[in-house]
Amino acid sequence: MAKDGTNRGGARIGAGAKKKPLADKLAEGNPGKRELTVIDFDNQSADLEGQPMPKPSRLLSAKQKDGKKLLASGIYKKTWNWLQERHCASLVSPDLLERYAMSAARWIQCEEAISEFGFLAKHPTTGNAIQSPYVAMSQNFMSQTNRLWMEIYQIVKENCASEYNGATPMDDTMELLLRARKGN
């Protein structure tokens, strides 16, 4: 708000009432009485095939400097299959999926480095103990991964007429992360 008491700059991102999930609207009997767009593929007589999964970028499975393969390709495929089961794969951009998969894989990679090298490092000029750079990178990748996942999940929540709760690819990512911390 400006000094003169007026609001400036227009609507803010995230302001206002949040969109209600389509499944909730259907369960409540459409209280707003607006026409809902529901695509029912189950009652079609023709056997419809979905679009094939876009081939993940080679970057997602590139060999790393330490000789290990990047996990991003597997994360991409699991997420795509999860979206396909909920009939939302065509709504999510493959680029968004690639960014999510790469970010999650880098987060896991940073956590593996923290497990291997520890939380502390030596300052290059003074020799004093400092926080390992992998800790800050891990925090950045974690927040980026969570933000991208919430973007994907919001699309599913707003457009999925069936159940979208339960195990998600983000749970699989957390499992990979915990395995990396154990050193497996």
pLDDT at 19: 76
164 CB-near residues (< 8 Å, 6+ apart): 21, 23, 86, 156, 157
pLDDT at 76: 94
Rounded CA-CA distance 94/55 in Å is 9
Query: Mind giving me the DSSP string for 122-155?
Result: E-TTT--EEE-HHHHHHHHHHHHHHHHHHHHHHH
Higher-confidence position of 153 and 166: 153
Q: By three-state DSSP, how is residue 162 classified?
A: coil
Rounded CA-CA distance 109/113 in Å is 6
pLDDT at 45: 46
Rounded CA-CA distance 101/178 in Å is 17
pLDDT tens, position by position, 106-142: 999 999 999 999 999 999 999 999 999 999 999 999 9
pTM for this structure? 0.70
pLDDT tens, position by position, 38-69: 666 565 544 445 567 778 888 888 888 888 88
Mean pLDDT, the chain, integer:
82
Highest mean pLDDT among 4-8, 52-56, 127-131, 177-181: 127-131
Joined tokens for residue 79? 């997420």
Closest by Cα among 86, 76, 70 to 53: 76
* Per-residue pLDDT band at 183 (split at 50, 70, 90): low
